[in-house]
Structure 1
Amino acid sequence: MAAENQTDPVAWKDGTPVSSRFDDPYFSLAGGLAETRHVFHAGNDLPARFRDGFRIAELGFGTGLNLVATVLAWQRAGATGRFSYTSFEAFPMPPDDMEAALAAFPEAREAASPLLDAWRAGRRAFAFGPAEVTVVVGDARETLPRWSGLADAWFLDGFSPAKNPELWDEGLMAEVARHTAPGGSFATYTAAGFVRRGLASAGFRVERVKGYGSKRHMSRGILGEAQ
């Protein structure tokens, strides 16, 4: 399992943070905030499903952009109450790099102070507006099976399956399903065949739909619906 001090060295290419470990960008060169809204929000039918006590889980915390975007979406939708956001991350991004990455999106950076303050203080469980956030540090293949929670919606946002296949294997997709509430959903930017097959085998009805920007396809699905 990755230790807390095992961060992911960040290389900057044309203003975009790229994982030195996986040689993959943290967000779309075409606009990471818009991509989050297209893939993870629309892909999970959010904000229409928001309600008090809603539970989101994520593979790959990265820059924290998905979290910030979700807090903004909740607030703009006028949703009441609170939601939980649990993210599984093997190699946390250093705070200075996280702040620099979020600065690419002024709307997100303006809202991100609670996240950045907690991150600099080494806190991995904290309140952020309406969100109760927990970032579980370590290899998700070890940490997710031990998690006692369920998610109503999953953001599957690990690095590319070609670069980071262990985060997309059939066993881990089965754990995602096992930790999904009945009728819960997932969304991901990837349409890789082995990922879709793994999620389908785990019990999701998987759809391949239009991706963000120049990406032709992405995947989404609902647990427990007939094929």
Structure 2
Amino acid sequence: MQDQTPERRGGVADLDWREGEIPVSRLFDDPYFSLENGLAETAYVFLAGNDLPARFRDGFHVAELGFGTGLNLLAALRLWRETGQAGRLHFTTFEAYPMTAAEMRRAHAAFPEITALSEELAPVWGQEAFDLPDLSFRMIRGDARETLPAWQARADAWFLDGFAPAKNPELWEEGLMAQVGAHTAPGGTAATYTAAGFVRRGLQAAGFDVVRAPGYGRKRHMTRAVLPDPSHG
């Protein structure tokens, strides 16, 4: 897809706040998380959608397109700890318009379940890299179409969480989905809240087996994808 929005190369988040607690991007005219319950949507779409926690192991690597408020990171780390995982979770996120630490904490206030975890990470919010005993975090800033090809790792699970394809098509285009496939470990997975046909076709073209699954809340469908592992064929 031809890029029609060359100005969307990166910067800082430009926000409005709906009902005082839900951040909405002015650039993309889209909320950062579900108006129903963003944390429950994350658990349904990105955690269960990638068959977690069943697949967790020491060194398990989650990669994400669209860090936003950091809600997905908190949900993944919370699940890691609650299920008694040993070792360290690796989490790499690609974000062009990062929020400030204060904006992230304001967004997290909508979810009392993660208050303690958000406060624990408060000293490192806004940093592009930090390590805890059970978490290794990296944020790669900039346009993912430019930064992902240079990434040297492969993810076990992808959280595809850009703004809605109708508002942010460049984060869902076929070339970027091809890079997602190229940076996925054999047997790795991807999940997203959208079931847009061109997104599913892009994942299929990237080598994934793609399934349209029931969506969260008012969303009828979502997408789950698995990259076949030739060694298990």
**TM-score interval for Structure 1 and Structure 2 normalised by the shorter chain:** over 0.9
CA contact (8 A) 1:114 1:128 kept: no
Tell me which residue corresponds to 1:185: 189
CA contact (8 A) 2:155 2:185 kept: yes
Q: Amino acid of the residue matched to residue 67 of structure 1?
A: L
1:149 alignment partner, SS class: coil
Tell me which residue corresponds to 1:17: 23
1:135 alignment partner, SS class: strand
The alpha-carbon deviation at position 115 of structure 1 amounts to 3.4
1:112 alignment partner, SS class: helix
How many Å separate the matches in 1 of 2:133 and 2:23?
A: 26
Tell me which residue corresponds to 1:141: 145
CA contact (8 A) 1:204 1:225 kept: no
CA contact (8 A) 2:207 2:227 kept: yes
Name structure 1 gaps, 5 residues minimum: none
The alpha-carbon deviation at position 116 of structure 1 amounts to 2.8
Q: Amino acid of the residue matched to residue 177 of structure 1?
A: G
CA contact (8 A) 2:24 2:31 kept: yes
Q: Deviations over 1:23-43 (max 9, x none)?
A: 100000010000000000000
Identity %: 59
The alpha-carbon deviation at position 113 of structure 1 amounts to 2.6
Q: Amino acid of the residue matched to residue 107 of structure 2?
A: A
TM-score by length of 2: 0.92
How many Å separate the matches in 1 of 2:15 and 2:42?
A: 20
The aligned length equals 222
Q: Deviations over 1:88-138 (max 9, x none)?
A: 00000122211110010011122013433212xx42101245110001000
TM-score by length of 1: 0.94
Tell me which residue corresponds to 2:38: 32
The alpha-carbon deviation at position 224 of structure 1 amounts to 2.1
How many Å separate the matches in 1 of 2:142 and 2:122?
A: 20
CA contact (8 A) 2:190 2:224 kept: yes
Once the two structures are superposed, the pairs formed by residues 106-125 of structure 1 within 5 Å of their partners are: 106-119=112-125, 122-125=126-129
Give the RMSD, CA atoms, in angstroms: 1.5
How many Å separate the matches in 1 of 2:132 and 2:179?
A: 27
CA contact (8 A) 2:186 2:229 kept: no
Structure 1 residues 158 and 72, CA gap change in structure 2 (3 angstroms): same
Structure 2 residue 104 is the aligned partner of structure 1 residue 98: yes
How many Å separate the matches in 2 of 1:164 and 1:115?
A: 29
Structure 1 residues 222 and 54, CA gap change in structure 2 (3 angstroms): same
Once the two structures are superposed, the pairs formed by residues 6-85 of structure 1 within 5 Å of their partners are: 6-14=11-19, 15-85=21-91
How many Å separate the matches in 2 of 1:123 and 1:12?
A: 23
Q: Deviations over 1:15-62 (max 9, x none)?
A: 311011101000000100000000000000000000001011000000
CA contact (8 A) 2:96 2:144 kept: yes
Name structure 2 gaps, 5 residues minimum: 1-7
